Amino acid sequence: MSPTTRRGLAIALPIGAIGGTVFYAMSLPLAWMLGSMIAVMAAALAGAPVRMPNGFRGVFVTVIGVLLGSAFTPELLGQAARFGGTLLIQVAFMAAATALGYTIYRTLGRYDHTTAYFSSTPGGLSEMTLVSEALGGDARIVPLNHGVRIVLVVTLISFYFRYVERLDVPTTPPSGANIASTPLEIALLVGCAVVGYAIAGRLRIPAAPLIGPMVLSALLHATGVTDASVPAWLVSISLVVIGTGVGCRFVDRLSPLQMLRTIGIATFTGLSMIALAIGVAALFSRLVGMDGFILFLSIAPGGLAEMSLIAFALAADTAFVTVMHFLRVMVVMLTGALVYRLVSGRPKTPD
């Protein structure tokens, strides 16, 4: 970690902790994640040199992976048939959302073809940014557009379900009944985090810090090896780090006017994608025999970790929602660049 990154991290974490504390004191939904995210985002937009390396964030994402894995049960295997039809809806929504975002970014933003396309893919922030840059896209605008979308989706969904739908979106995600306390339970959960992360990283699985630990934790919990869960205090610390990491994506690399314009267009695009997800969920929920709000959570274009946490907080079929978002990320990773090349014919430089 370079001295600049260390200084940026030392600035970002206290800001995130303060933001989470303020939200917690106000009893706002998902306080530690949303509060830190919004506080650090505001600081970044104001010019604060906040930084967070992916490796540091990944250590704490493993905690969330283990937590989400504890939501998997043997009963989920009997519901596997649900994934087929819903995955088709997910893919159709992703195609429509990408086309919608691309159209907005090209017409309103007047972005070049490459930047507009990779800003529109609903998932894979880091990967889509790297591919876009390699193909001539704007590496400043693509991650900013994805960051705005994630912040917008996560924040609006959390507040909507608490204050409009009057559902119990807790200030902190609920913890399991049996907190890991014995040496064996602690060793099992730590093993899930360390070994899961290492295996997923070696296999180059997308979102390795989340998916690897989650899979191992799911195996142990679904087979009854353990019912131990992560302590609430550790979850809260991890949420502060995750929220802070999202906020750090807004570090100012554009002029203030460019930044405001980009955020404005990205906000409009994000709201349009949310509206599209609501429409798709309302249209197809009866067809697949699923509650509309579960289907919406399964396709909403937010971050994998963030959407899984919202589902966990709402006790809204966490395992199903998490698997659907993992499949979304996988589809984007596997087809994003391929579709670009098929449509473009060849890599294009900014026009």
Half-sphere exposure of 32 (CA within 13 A, CB side): 18
Res. 107: pLDDT tops 70: yes
Name which of 332, 297, 317 is nearest 125 in CA terms. 332
Average pLDDT of the chain, as a whole number: 83
Q: In Å, what is the CA distance from 183 to each residue of 10, 186, 188, 189, 228?
A: 32, 5, 9, 10, 11
CA-to-CA distance for 296 and 165, rounded, in angstroms?
A: 14
| CA pair distance 307, 305, nearest whole angstrom | 6
Q: What is the pLDDT of residues 6-52, one digit of tens each?
A: 999 999 999 999 999 998 998 887 788 888 988 998 999 888 999 99
Q: What mean pLDDT do residues 204-216 have?
A: 82
Closest residue by Cα to residue 278 from 300, 257, 263, 259: 300
List residues bridging with 179 in a β-sheet.
229
Q: What's the CA gap between 78 and 335, in Å, rounded?
A: 29
CB 321 within 8 A of CB 332: no
CB 136 within 8 A of CB 258: no
DSSP state, residue 171: S
Scored b (16 or more CB within 10 A) or e, 214-244 reads bbbbbebbbeeebebbbbeebbbbbbbbbbb
pLDDT at 252: 63
Task: Tokens for 144, please give them.
Answer: 């900013």
Q: At residue 350, does pLDDT exceed 50?
A: no
Quick one: pLDDT at residue 169? Answer: 66
Q: Give 316's pLDDT tier (boundaries 50, 70, 90).
A: confident
What value does the mean pLDDT take over residues 225-234?
A: 86
Q: Which two tokens stand for residue 24?
A: 């917690």
Alpha-carbon distances of 166 from 158, 162, 170, 316, rounded to whole Å: 11, 5, 11, 14
Domains in the chain, ordered, with CATH? 3-344 (1.20.1530)
For residue 320, count CB atoms less than 10 angstroms from its CB and return exposed for 0-12, middle for 13-18, buried for 19 or more. Answer: buried
Percent pLDDT > 70 in the chain is 88
Residue 85 has pLDDT above 90, yes or no: no
Residue 130 has pLDDT above 80, yes or no: no
Alpha carbons within 13 angstroms on the beta-carbon side of residue 308 total 30
What average pLDDT score do residues 79-100 get?
Answer: 82
The letter for the amino acid at 83 is F
The model's confidence at residue 240, banded by pLDDT at 50, 70 and 90, is very high
Between CA 304 and CA 189, with CA 202 as vertex, the angle to 5 degrees is 65
Higher pLDDT, 164 or 278: 278
The residue assigned the tokens 């697949």 is 288
Cβ-in-10-Å burial (0-12, 13-18, 19+) of 55 comes to exposed
pLDDT of 13 reads: 96
Query: Is pLDDT above 80 for 269?
Result: yes
pLDDT of residue 17: 96
**Per-residue confidence (pLDDT) for residue 36, from 0 to 100:** 92
SS3 of residue 229 by DSSP: strand
Q: Is the pLDDT of residue 347 over 50?
A: no
Among 12-21, 66-75, 82-91, 335-344, which range has the highest average pLDDT?
12-21
Residue-wise DSSP of 297-318: HHH-SS-HHHHHHHHHHHTS-H
Q: To the nearest 10°, the Cα dihedral for 312, 314, 320, 321? A: -90
- Residue 241: what residue type? V
Mean pLDDT along residues 93-107: 94
The better pLDDT of the pair 194, 133 is held by 194
Given pLDDT bands bounded at 50, 70 and 90, which one contains residue 191?
A: very high
d(CA 269, CA 273) in angstroms, rounded, equals 6
- Strand (E) positions, 231-343? none
Structure-block tokens of residue 235 = 């979850």
